[in-house]
Amino acid sequence: MDRIEYLKNIKRIVVKVGTSTITHETGLINYEMMNKVVEQISNLMNRGYEVILVSSGAVGAGLGILKDMKRPMTIPEKQAAASVGQVTLIHLYQKMFLEYSQNISQILLTKSDIEDRERYLNIRNVFFELLKRKVIPIINENDTVTTDEIKVGDNDTLAALVANLIDADLLILLSDIDGLYDSNPNENKNANLIRKVINVNEVMSYAKDSSSLQGTGGMITKLNAGKIANAYGSHMIIANGKTKFVLNRIMDCEEIGTLFVKNKNLVSARRQWIGFNSKVAGTLIIDNGAKKAILNNKSLLPIGIKKIDGIFKRGETVSIVDENENEIARGLSNFDSGSLLKIIGLNSNKIVDILGYKDSNDVVHIDNMMIKE
């Protein structure tokens, strides 16, 4: 299928701009490249697309101002750099977008904003209101307040989660590489650029981590973002942000970068949130019989559980893994961990005898489960 067939009905686009695209190696802002990105996004808006921008560069911009700071940094140093750099970054975006008569907003997110269902839905509503008013939301992780425990970790993943959050049709990751190669092009001059990927899992072995001084995301993070975006129903394209008119040419369906095609069998928004956004409170280790049942779209019963890790309440998200510790699914538990410990490995008809009550035969119902494989 030609690329035009995949992109012909695109309406809502998330564009992620990497640090290497809009900053120099010194960490200072590359005004020329930043303005080119702004110009192209403004042009897409004028063409009738809805565009959300996820922009890296805050820490890099802060490093350019706080010249005595060098990588690697302590957490307080990184947060200070982000605090200083975010002001510079958003001020420049506002100034540049106004030159093209475009209005922007700023949204700083943390992992906990996405994990909490109520906050997730509130943020989603804010996005839709901004898009309705033709405002360009500019997103970044709130590095000033985040710690390792509440970080998304990289803006590739953040962009994929945002794509899900607002039901985007397309995610574009602009980086310093032309796309996905079958081997490292810096080491192999005969490396081939892959133009289309149908199944991300089949190309994971091609990924190599980035050595960029300023950035945090390598190819592995981009492929993981592709898994998320494709599962949610978004196509994804990895392209070089310094390619001339890259965004306009992508939307003109030129064969630029690598296209990752969205999954054919999409799941509900509720399952998507459970599978990728909700906070995991515990782990259920299951046997091969339960694994086979889940992969055949069946609920998880207590008889198939071998072990429980963690303490969780009824209704919290649990990770379901096989005996080799491969994650099979995530879902909402119908039992708290204490009650579940008493019934694992037993038939469902024993639940009342052991617990004195039975709200459900299933530990995790298939309707409240996101299968990962």
Give the lowest-confidence range in 56-65, 219-228, 232-241, 353-362: 56-65
Taking only the tens place, the pLDDT of each residue in 298-339 is 999 999 999 999 999 998 999 999 999 999 999 999 999 999
Do 253 and 294 belong to one domain?
no
Residues 6 or more apart whose Cβ sits within 8 Å of residue 271: 368, 369, 370
Do 64 and 93 belong to one domain?
yes
Residue 341 lies in a domain: yes
C-alpha dist (Å) from residue 203 to 7, 200, 255, 331, 373: 22, 6, 19, 27, 15
CB 220 within 8 A of CB 207: yes
Strands (E), 5-150: 12-17, 50-55, 103-109, 135-141
**Whether the predicted pLDDT of 179 surpasses 50:** yes
Taking only the tens place, the pLDDT of each residue in 1-50 is 789 899 999 999 999 998 888 888 776 788 999 999 999 999 999 999 99
Sheet (strand 170-175) strand order: 103-109, 135-141, 50-55, 12-17, 170-175, 235-240, 258-260, 196-197
For residue 72, the model assigns a pLDDT of: 64
**Whether the predicted pLDDT of 217 surpasses 60:** no
Place 249 in a pLDDT band, splitting at 50, 70 and 90: very high
Place 142 in a pLDDT band, splitting at 50, 70 and 90: confident
Do 297 and 256 belong to one domain?
no
What is the Cα Rg of the chain in Å? 22
Do 226 and 293 belong to one domain?
no
Residue-wise over 123-139: b if at least 16 C-beta within 10 A, else e? bbeebeebbeeebbbbb
Do 100 and 38 belong to one domain?
yes
**Whether the predicted pLDDT of 209 surpasses 80:** no
Percent of residues, the chain, with pLDDT higher than 90: 60
Do 241 and 325 belong to one domain?
no
Q: Can you tell me the mean pLDDT for 84-100?
A: 94
- The domain containing residue 247 runs over which residues? 3-265
CA gap 244, 69 in Å, rounded: 33
Do 360 and 235 belong to one domain?
no
Taking only the tens place, the pLDDT of each residue in 259-310 is 999 988 766 667 878 887 788 999 999 999 999 999 999 999 999 999 999 9
Residue 274 lies in a domain: no
Q: Can you tell me the mean pLDDT for 67-78?
A: 77
Taking only the tens place, the pLDDT of each residue in 105-125 is 999 998 888 888 788 889 989
DSSP state of 201: G
Place 213 in a pLDDT band, splitting at 50, 70 and 90: very low
Q: Could you tell me the two tokens for 225?
A: 């973002």
CATH number reported for the structural domain that contains residue 328 in this entry: 2.30.130.10
Do 14 and 92 belong to one domain?
yes
* Domain count along the chain: 2
CA gap 239, 153 in Å, rounded: 21
Taking only the tens place, the pLDDT of each residue in 340-367 is 999 999 999 999 999 988 778 899 999 8
Do 143 and 9 belong to one domain?
yes
Burial class (CB in 10 A: 0-12, 13-18, 19+), 2: exposed
What pTM was estimated for this model as a whole? 0.78
CATH number reported for the structural domain that contains residue 46 in this entry: 3.40.1160.10
| Pairing outcome for strands 258-260 and 235-240 | antiparallel
For residue 212, the model assigns a pLDDT of: 43
- For residue 106, give the nearest of 143, 55, 157, 154 by alpha carbon: 55
Amino acid at 357: Y
For residue 139, the model assigns a pLDDT of: 96
H helices of 105-241, in order, are 111-115, 117-132, 155-165, 219-232
For residue 289, the model assigns a pLDDT of: 96
**Whether the predicted pLDDT of 210 surpasses 50:** no
Do 171 and 296 belong to one domain?
no
H helices of 284-360, in order, are 288-295, 337-343, 351-355
C-alpha dist (Å) from residue 220 to 40, 111, 225, 258: 27, 19, 9, 14
